[in-house]
């Protein structure tokens, strides 16, 4: 007899959520693409695991707003939180030299290097977004994942990651010129007469961990949606990363074409690297939106009836996580950096803590996401550019955003307690994320108003403004859609089925 889990889906989980058949395909693809493009483009200024979380938050909140009408608001918030954290796992990858293979001056005209670099970007992009898609599916599938189960899974993944490093990304000894057989960064083969500084690659470890996660969710937990959205994330990353870089590499390979005509006036103001990031995010977001739409009949956000952790435990875990996150982002403590420098390890506390808590998903999409973004904004404007006095900079760009984040967190938790549906939660999180990230990034960009002298940041700021306006209008219009009563427990759902 097959093993059973107390958290398996209900016999008829369709009773847990209204079926969103009226969501147009174009809306899902367009809005998720805008959310992904804006989030990933802004990530370019903040980088790494914490920066990528912005894109995960925006895309998943759009999905909740569009597809979770009538579903559990608390369950929707958990799905958003899991996607937000999981998209940061891939931030541990190195990809600068991989991009270099497609556009560095000494490799212009080298088709072999270009294709190898694009293959590397497809692999790294697929792994990166695959985690986000899988965890999003876990939150939307109606399969109940317990805290103990997630603790075991999040402990297993780093161990499997190490096995993948040994199998795919070893040996790595630049001093002896010993590199892995499959290596997507710069080597002496591409630069025989120059200085080469090979970078350690971890895509193999992450790929092995992602494969383990997909196998577990599908074969052990029979979670089809997690597998399908995980594969959708892989596809979105495989298409998005090289797709965005194809634009930047085309510019590098054909500079003469950009020195005449109307494009010659625009080219000096284009940040082609950021354009690559915006395109990557737009493609991966659109792909996730497309596959959620294709699988919308499988969305089952169960009512939240789990035992809530005590407030003391929630706050204690939050303080531990924020402390480790702050030390990792802004200092050089070797032990902490080794632990939280790996996205899978950084996600252990957030993923596990949010399983049995109604507060932690709110913590994740507000304070946890905001802390490193606000801190990096202060570091840039106060200490690197001296654009604002330290006291004023800390108050405006750090203290104020965190106070607002904490207040909004309280509102989210209270809103979930009133049994608001997932559509409302997605709308609130989307508005919070788009405006918070846009305003901090606009300050990071030194306020590139389009009527002032253009810099390389102006076109990107215009694109972000367009996405901001469209997403805000979409969130406002979603208020017009009618909502249904959300069941408060699995018992009430079963009672309704029996009646």
Residues in the chain: 499
Comparing 287 with 195, which gets the higher pLDDT? 287
User: Over 60: is that where the pLDDT of 74 sits?
Assistant: yes
Q: Give the mean pLDDT of 66-92.
A: 94
Q: What is the tens place of the pLDDT at every residue in 431-442? A: 999 999 999 999
CA distances for 407 relative to 62, 367, 426, 432, angstroms: 22, 9, 17, 11
- Between helices 25-46 and 272-294, what is the axis angle to 10°? 140
251, HSE (Cβ side, Cα atoms, 13 Å) = 16
**Euclidean distance between CA atoms 31 and 470, whole angstroms:** 8
Q: Give CA 183 to chain center in angstroms.
A: 25
Q: Give the mean pLDDT of 347-358.
A: 92
Q: Give CA 368 to chain center in angstroms.
A: 13
Q: Is the dihedral of CA 469, 473, 474, 476 positive or negative?
A: positive
**Euclidean distance between CA atoms 365 and 374, whole angstroms:** 14
User: Over 90: is that where the pLDDT of 1 sits?
Assistant: no
pLDDT attached to residue 10:
41
306: left (phi over 0), alpha (psi -120 to 50) or beta: beta
User: Over 70: is that where the pLDDT of 17 sits?
Assistant: no
Least confident interval from 240-254, 277-291, 347-361: 347-361
Q: Give the mean pLDDT of 227-251.
A: 98
Q: What is the band of 356 on the pLDDT scale with cuts at 50, 70, 90?
A: confident
User: Over 70: is that where the pLDDT of 482 sits?
Assistant: no
Q: Give the mean pLDDT of 27-44.
A: 97
CA distances for 455 relative to 114, 257, 433, 437, 445, angstroms: 29, 21, 25, 20, 10
Residues forming beta bridges with residue 150, ordered by sequence position:
none
Please list, in sequence order, all residues whose beta carbon lies within 8 angstroms of the beta carbon of residue 352, skipping any fewer than 6 positions away. Answer: 147, 150, 151, 154
pLDDT attached to residue 358:
85
pLDDT attached to residue 49:
86
Q: Give the mean pLDDT of 481-488.
A: 49
Q: What is the band of 376 on the pLDDT scale with cuts at 50, 70, 90?
A: very high
Least confident interval from 235-249, 257-271, 283-297: 257-271
0.75 cut: is pTM over it? Answer: yes
């Amino acid at each position: 007899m097959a093993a059973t889990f107390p958290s398996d889906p209900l016999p008829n989980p369709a009773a847990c959520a209204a079926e969103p058949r009226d969501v147009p395909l174009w809306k899902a693809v367009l809005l998720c693409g805008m959310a992904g493009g804006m989030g990933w483009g802004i990530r370019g200024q903040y980088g790494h695991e914490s920066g990528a979380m912005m894109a995960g938050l925006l895309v998943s909140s759009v999905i909740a707003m569009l597809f979770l009408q009538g579903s559990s608001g608390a369950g929707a918030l958990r799905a958003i939180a899991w996607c937000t954290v999981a998209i940061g796992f891939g931030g541990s990858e190195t990809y600068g030299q991989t991009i270099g293979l497609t556009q560095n001056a000494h490799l212009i005209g080298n088709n072999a290097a270009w294709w190898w670099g694009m293959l590397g970007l497809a692999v790294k992009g697929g792994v990166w977004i695959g985690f986000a898609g899988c965890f999003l599916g876990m939150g939307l599938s109606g399969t109940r994942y317990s805290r103990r189960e997630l603790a075991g899974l999040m402990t297993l993944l780093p161990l499997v990651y190490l096995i993948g490093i040994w199998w795919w990304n070893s040996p790595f000894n630049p001093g002896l010129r010993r590199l892995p057989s499959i290596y997507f960064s710069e080597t002496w083969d591409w630069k025989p007469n120059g200085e080469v500084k090979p970078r350690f690659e971890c895509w193999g470890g992450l790929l092995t961990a992602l494969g383990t996660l997909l196998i577990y969710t599908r074969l052990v937990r029979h979670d089809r949606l997690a597998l399908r959205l995980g594969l959708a994330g892989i596809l979105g990353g495989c298409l998005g990363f090289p797709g965005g870089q194809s634009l930047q590499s085309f510019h590098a390979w054909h500079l003469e074409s950009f020195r005449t005509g109307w494009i010659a006036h625009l080219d000096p103001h284009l940040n082609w690297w950021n354009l690559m990031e915006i395109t990557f995010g737009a493609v991966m977001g659109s792909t996730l939106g497309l596959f959620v739409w294709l699988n919308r009949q499988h969305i089952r956000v169960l009512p939240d009836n789990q035992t809530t952790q005590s407030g003391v435990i929630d706050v204690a875990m939050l303080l531990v996580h924020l402390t480790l996150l702050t030390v990792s982002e802004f200092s050089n403590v070797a032990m902490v950096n080794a632990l939280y420098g790996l996205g899978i390890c950084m996600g252990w506390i957030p993923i596990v803590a949010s399983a049995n808590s109604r507060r932690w998903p709110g913590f994740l999409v507000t304070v946890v996401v905001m802390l490193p973004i606000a801190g990096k904004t202060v570091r840039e404007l106060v200490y690197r550019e001296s654009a604002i006095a330290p006291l004023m900079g800390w108050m405006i760009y750090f203290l104020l955003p965190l106070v607002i984040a904490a207040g909004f967190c309280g509102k989210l938790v209270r809103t979930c307690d009133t049994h608001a549906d997932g559509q409302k939660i997605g709308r609130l999180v989307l508005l919070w994320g788009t405006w918070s990230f846009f305003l901090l990034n606009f300050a990071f960009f030194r306020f590139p108003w389009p009527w002032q002298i253009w810099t390389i940041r102006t076109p990107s700021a215009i694109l972000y403004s367009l996405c901001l306006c469209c997403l805000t209008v979409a969130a406002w219009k979603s208020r017009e859609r009618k909502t249904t009563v959300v069941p408060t427990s699995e018992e009430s759902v079963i009672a309704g089925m029996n009646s």
